[in-house]
Structure 1
Amino acid sequence: MGTWLATIRFPDGTCKYARYSTVVEEMYHPLYAECSIGGDRGEVAGEPLPGRPELPRSAAADLVPVVIDVESYNDAWHALYCPRRALLAGPFSGFHRDRMQAEFELARDEHGVRHLGWSESTSLCGRPLTGEPLVFHDHLADWGPMEPPEPIEPVEVIDLYADWDEPDMCRACLLTTVAVLPERDVVRPDMTLTMPDRARTAGAGWWRRLLGR
């Protein structure tokens, strides 16, 4: 199995490290405090850090926003670290952004807060969306590998987890995306996800990766 070094950067400037699988295209636990750089790629080093996956996740206000980048990918993404579990809460792959834009609409409620939803009327957290609909959903993804009958301008890739601390972003909607998007977003410490499983859960945005988006 091919792996790259994933670096998790915290707001205070500290880092933790993990392995990123090129087979299932996501990083996985455990986390490490050290890494070694040598040859054509880095590697985690030392003993794995203890995690507490059996504990309930920290409250949303206590989750720590982090930035994850993977060697050779040159495409960092924003995620959340759970202090209580001492583990990442997700997303575990930069491709999570593509799936969010392929699956969800983005709109404001009556207070101006941005929410994600299956439509522009109801949010993932259950609030009615009566405010301004926003450009987010990439309708190109609806066509999969087929060409739409008329040219459609693709939507810029947007990383909403980068807005975790913004007062107009609904945290409950963001956290729900990790649970409701395809199962391969769930970290398996033993990495038993097979290639057929990966193909089954790849989601509507797979073809955009083929095009380099």
Structure 2
Amino acid sequence: MSMSEPDTLSTAEAAYTQRLITSERSGLKRLLPTQAPYHWNLRSLGLGGIRVLDIGCGIGRNLAVCGAGSVGVDHNPSSVAAARARGLVAFTADELIGRGGVGRFDALLCAHVLEHLTETDGTALLASYLPMVRPGGLVVLITPQEAGFASDPTHIRFVDADALRAIASRAGLEELHNYSFPLPRRTGRVFRYNEFVYAGTVPGVG
């Protein structure tokens, strides 16, 4: 992320990367494939077989299930290094400059990022990367519901289904889906891993 962010002092540091790694290995996650439903959801949207630009890729949890030629970008150098250590292709925003091109990717994924940003910065972030997605390409936006939002002190703005639709509309996207996953919407108040999922397309024909 290349613009000013209110949570930069936490999410851009090595300690935040370590927190992501620790969380990935804690509790039931050590014994059960808890990410499997979320990876299934990404594949069901089509991200498993196409070139995806994963904005805010972190340590590569979602990037790992995207198609060949996919690239992650994150403002935390430690997270980028962790993703690379997993054999993934990831860059900081500055490193990505000059490596991408207009229409290079088939899709854009922005998962659990917008809740870390102000409305203005979130809109600007999306606008800055959309030119790298081909016309007709897919855009997937994912944010946590109430329990998930409350679980992380670096979250600064609750972005629900209507807010995702508004962000996408300002970006000129054409909506395909807007739903709650993996459980019904009301569950998000107690189940921290329930998500808002928006999918739309970039105008034009690829």
What is the TM-score with the length of structure 2 in the denominator?
A: 0.26
What is the TM-score with the length of structure 1 in the denominator?
A: 0.25
Q: Which structure has the higher relative contact order (CA within 8 Å, separation 6+)?
A: 2
Instruction: Report the structure, 1 or 2, having the larger helix content.
Output: 2
Question: Which structure has the greater CA radius of gyration?
Answer: 1
